[in-house]
Chain A
Amino acid sequence: MAEGSTADRTINRGPGRVLIALYLLFAIAATSRAGFQLITKYQEAPLAYLLSAFAAVIYIVATVGLARANLIGRRVALTACLIELVGVLGVGAASLTVPQAFPDDTVWSRFGEGYGYLPLVLPMIGLVWLRRAGKG
């Protein structure tokens, strides 16, 4: 009974755990960055900092979803990855076209340049991984 289905077991084991590590990394990075920015200088760039905070919440939700790995967890992770992809593409494009709206950077600015473009690649890997694991 303790054994889940194959898909349940594979999604958060092996390579899946590497993905969880990356999401956890971004959850910590975005949370601490947004936290300090909101505390120290909220007025300077409220939109940028609130977006960073939103990104942080999405990363945390995705991490929990991937780690729980049951049906609900996978759906939560899938939704989070999609929001993340839309977010990084939208904010990335907006930060280039209307830079005056972003006096300070967010995690997703210029498609995640400040984080080696990992914010752009990560949701894609997540979606591919969830699809593959879901079939297994």
Chain B
Amino acid sequence: MNGALGTLTIVTSLLVAAWSGVTALRGRAPDRRLLAGLGVVELAVLALAIAALVAIAGGEGPGEPGTFWGYLVTLIFLPPLAAVLARMEPTRWGSVIVLVVCLVMPVLVVRLEQTWAVTHG
């Protein structure tokens, strides 16, 4: 499991969370740049997923496969879900949706790394 990519995902997600938090406090709807931020988070997640697939192809594997894949699929779906719902809700609550999702993402990445590490760490 690539620790650097996991950290990158967590950091970008927290940055977008902070940004959407400020946007929500100012009573603004998420703008195009905030949605682009979600795009960057999604790219980080996809890189993480590809790294995991490469590691599995190389003979490694998650300690708890069922849970691991569950978390990974959820992570991949989350940024697009936040973007779609944020566009449906062009108020400050749209920014809150982005905030909530971007606060959940780091938790899921940490859990993802835990379910990978069971047999390796």
Of B89, B94, B107, most A-chain CB atoms within 10 Å: B89
Measured between C-beta atoms, what is the minimum distance from A111 to chain B in Å? 16
Contact partner of B74 among A18, A25, A104, A116, CB < 8 A? Answer: A25
Judge whether B2 is part of the interface by a CB distance below 8 angstroms.
no
Residues of B close to A22: CB separation below 8 A: 100
Residues of B close to A4: CB separation below 8 A: none
Of A21, A24, A114, most B-chain CB atoms within 10 Å: A21
Question: In the bound complex, do residue B85 and residue A25 qualify as a contact, i.e. CB atoms below 8 Å apart?
Answer: no
Q: What is the number of residues of chain A that contact chain B, defined by CB distance less than 8 Å?
A: 27
Interface residues on B, range: 20 to 34
Residues of B close to A29: CB separation below 8 A: 70-71, 74
Question: In the bound complex, do residue A18 and residue B70 qualify as a contact, i.e. CB atoms below 8 Å apart?
Answer: no
Measured between C-beta atoms, what is the minimum distance from B28 to chain A in Å? 14
Judge whether A37 is part of the interface by a CB distance below 8 angstroms.
yes
Residues of B close to A21: CB separation below 8 A: 81-82, 85, 97, 100-101
Contact partner of A15 among B67, B93, B107, CB < 8 A? Answer: B93
Secondary structure dominating the interface of A: helix
Closest to A39 in B: B66
The CA of A21 and the CA of B98, in the complex, are separated in Å by 9
Residues of B close to A114: CB separation below 8 A: 111
Judge whether B104 is part of the interface by a CB distance below 8 angstroms.
yes
The CA of A127 and the CA of B40, in the complex, are separated in Å by 35
The CA of A35 and the CA of B70, in the complex, are separated in Å by 8
The CA of A130 and the CA of B57, in the complex, are separated in Å by 48
Measured between C-beta atoms, what is the minimum distance from B101 to chain A in Å? 7
The CA of A69 and the CA of B74, in the complex, are separated in Å by 25
Residues of A close to B66: CB separation below 8 A: 33, 36-37, 39-41, 49, 104
Question: In the bound complex, do residue B97 and residue A18 qualify as a contact, i.e. CB atoms below 8 Å apart?
Answer: yes
Closest to B68 in A: A36
The CA of A13 and the CA of B107, in the complex, are separated in Å by 27
Which residue numbers of A lie inside 8 Å of B, CB to CB?
13-15, 17-18, 20-22, 24-25, 28-29, 32-37, 39-41, 49, 104-105, 114-116
